[in-house]
Amino acid sequence: MFFHMKAAFTSLFLFSLLFWLANCKTSQKPAATPPTPPPVAAPAPAPASDLLAADRAKYLEKVRKSIAGKEKMQADSVFENWKKLNKMPAERVLGIMDRWGETLGVSCDHCHVPNEWASESKAPKEITRQMMALIERVNTDIQSIQAIKSERPGVSCYTCHRGEAKPARRPK
């Protein structure tokens, strides 16, 4: 009988020891981390074409300020090194620059050292003048294809470039 009671006390003691140890463990746990919020959909990155358009807009704004008051004057009397398309008001130059950029999928720095617009240090600037001459030749030649029904058949930068500096030669 005495033996049984001793055994009972021992097992009770062991049991509470285990219970205490188990509790110890749980109380040592680091403070519960806050529940992770549900994943928020990351905003879609802006398309490259938007970034280029924003970059061009930034430079166009500077040029617009620099020709303030001279917008209606003839382009070649406002700009230093304007050799083609002279008979247009200076303000139209801005739209042409933006369109060339969009058509080639580039910003101003493809053809210019930014803010040194009159400089000829980048080859694509002179290439562009020769592209204009090429368009004149093509649009003259195309008149001789008499079966064409369009009133004014012709090509533009976009006809070939379609958003790329190097036009594709075959379907992609």
Alpha-carbon torsion angle 84, 86, 90, 95, nearest 10: -50
| Binding string, residues 37-76; x marks residues near ligand HEC by CB under 6 A | -------------------x--xx--x-------------
Residue 90 contacts ligand HEC per CB under 6 A: no
Give one word for 105, left, alpha or beta, with left for phi > 0 and alpha for psi -120 to 50: left
Within residues 6-35, the interface with ligand HEC by CB under 6 A covers none
Q: How far is the CB of 40 from ligand HEC (least distance, A)?
A: 35
Q: How far is the CB of 149 from ligand HEC (least distance, A)?
A: 21
Within residues 105-164, the interface with ligand HEC by CB under 6 A covers 106, 108, 110-112, 117-118, 124-125, 127-129, 131-132, 135, 155, 157, 159-161
Residue whose pair of structure tokens reads 């002179």 in the numeric block: 126
CB atoms within 10 A of CB 111: 20
Structure tokens at 172: 């992609």
| Alpha-carbon radius of gyration of the chain | 37
